[in-house]
Amino acid sequence: MLKTVLLIPIACIISTCTSLPETNFSITEFASPIHPLSQLLPKDKSTASLSVLRKKTKVSGILLHHTKGLSTEDYITKSANSGWLVHYIVDKKGKIYGVEDPGTSLLKAAPKTDTSMIHISWEGDKEDILKRPAQKKSLLYTIAKTSQEFGIPVTNFDVGSRSGIFTHSQAKKKFGGFLNGSDCGNENVLKALLEELKGSYFSEMEWKDRYGEWVLRKEKPFVGQNGEIKEPSYDKGRGVTPTPKADLENIEKTAEGLLPEEKRLKYNYRGAITADCVVLHFTAINDYEGTLRVLEKRNLAATFLADKDGKIYQLLDSPLHMAAAATGTNRNCFQIEIVGKDTEMLLANPAQITAVSKLVYELCQKYQIPLNNERIESLKGVFSHTQAKKKWGGSIFLDAQDFDPGEPYMKKIIETLGGTYYPEKDWYDRNGEEWILLFTDFQP
């Protein structure tokens, strides 16, 4: 899935966070009793059954969550029944519940951070805690007490270090391991808290290495050697390299057997693929030319683009040139973008379905690609972009509800060709830990 993205030039500015800010917040001024969190747990659950031991010295950060409108009781019940738990939760009235010894209790709440984090949640949604002084005061106390007890820096600059105070959203964007990409912890709430604690708050574009290795990435615009924004430049494609001959049957070609020049993509050569699999996408853009513009502007590439009229065009000079369309699969896969706003539009276009099916079949026959979607980690088969995103991330648009091009569409294509379609629950090891998006009913 493409969609149009606004790229904001950033001249950043951050040197390093070598000096750690110290809070001027007085714990004694806001001291509040902490009630046993065990009071909220279902009868068949305990903090001991939901935690494992760790050394206090492992604790280096705080991760802030909120209940997204659930009551404190419902949130803890849903968490515990799903195998998760937080160390502290502050209800709307400002009552604090906590586990007995948070430093030695490793609780599951945010994969790839749990070893280092104290998880603190507040009851509510969006920014409504800022309108409830008693709750905000108790949350400030909980964070300040925890920060001072474990020597945690009062800053959100470098979530990769796991040292500081962060929202669950920031951790999700860096490490993955989430149920969906919706707001959790709320950046505006964290900003208000860090400012009151005399710490240092950094906006998203100031987070350390935000253009680097993040699961939910920010795209880097075309830049020069010194980081300056520059005009896009390309070394392959339309108007740059000679028009190639078409060597596949089920793509459009001129009377001379060439790729139609005006339908080609301007792109940058990234190497060759090993031709092991096929990945299908929808563009989320309603026309062919608009899709080309977005691909070129974002320095992305697909191997083929299927137009609404059922005609399919090869975008790259060779089908074996590497596209830039789906993290984890680009080195091994043909990437087929399908023009359409959503899954329903694709399913309502029989001419386009027939054309895509024919191309997929030709590629699978020619390169001995299995006609099934069971094991994406094998990079052998026919997969959706969503399946790749849930496995490896690396997309601007990443959410458990995001289906690209839609699993019903994948089922239609694979079964039309006599292959075997596997629904998500049957994807290999779908309940395992090596997925960026979790397969669970609830996560704190």
Which band of pLDDT confidence, cut at 50, 70 and 90, is reported for residue 425?
Answer: very high
Q: What is the CATH number of domain 30-206?
A: 3.40.80.10
Question: What's the pLDDT tens digit per position in 198-232?
Answer: 999 999 999 999 988 899 888 777 776 676 778 89
* Predicted pLDDT at 229: 78
Pick the CATH number of 236-426 from 3.40.50.300, 3.30.450.20, 3.40.80.10, 3.40.50.360: 3.40.80.10
* Predicted pLDDT at 29: 63
Angstrom CA distances, 248 to 221, 239, 258, 300, 320, stand at 33, 22, 11, 23, 12
Q: What's the farthest any 2 CA atoms get from each other in the chain?
A: 83
- Residue 345, helix vs strand vs coil: helix
Look up residue 261 and give its two tokens. Answer: 């020049």
* Predicted pLDDT at 398: 76
What rounded mean pLDDT belongs to the chain? 92
* Predicted pLDDT at 8: 40
The closest alpha carbon to 159, from 121, 216, 113, belongs to 113
Q: Find the radius of gyration of the CA atoms of the chain.
A: 25
Average pLDDT over residues 278-297: 95
pTM of this prediction?
0.87
Question: What's the pLDDT tens digit per position in 311-324?
Answer: 999 999 999 999 99
Q: Are 133 and 77 in contact (CB under 8 A)?
A: no
Degrees, nearest 5: CA angle 409-411-82 = 95
Q: Are 122 and 90 in contact (CB under 8 A)?
A: yes
Residue ranges of E strands in 5-94? 34-36, 51-53, 61-66, 88-90
Which band of pLDDT confidence, cut at 50, 70 and 90, is reported for residue 265?
Answer: very high
Question: What's the pLDDT tens digit per position in 3-30?
Answer: 765 444 433 333 334 334 454 556 666 6
Q: Is the pLDDT of residue 149 over 60?
A: yes
Q: Is the pLDDT of residue 57 over 70?
A: yes
User: Cα separation of 237 and 302, whole Å?
Assistant: 12
- Residue 36, helix vs strand vs coil: strand
Question: What's the pLDDT tens digit per position in 366-404?
Answer: 999 999 999 999 999 999 999 999 999 988 777 777 789
For the chain, which residues make up each domain, given as ranges?
A: 30-206, 236-426
* Predicted pLDDT at 30: 65
Element (H, E) at 142: helix 133-150
Question: What's the pLDDT tens digit per position in 80-111?
Answer: 999 999 999 999 999 999 999 999 999 999 99
Query: Would 30-206 and 236-426 be classified into the same CATH topology?
Result: yes
Which band of pLDDT confidence, cut at 50, 70 and 90, is reported for residue 234?
Answer: very high
Average pLDDT over residues 147-174: 97
* Predicted pLDDT at 6: 47
Least confident of 151-165, 216-230, 272-286, 320-334: 216-230
Q: Is the pLDDT of residue 1 over 50?
A: yes
96, β-bridge pairs: 34, 90
* Predicted pLDDT at 159: 98
Inter-axis angle of helices 133-150 and 187-196, nearest 10: 70
User: Cα separation of 131 and 128, whole Å?
Assistant: 5
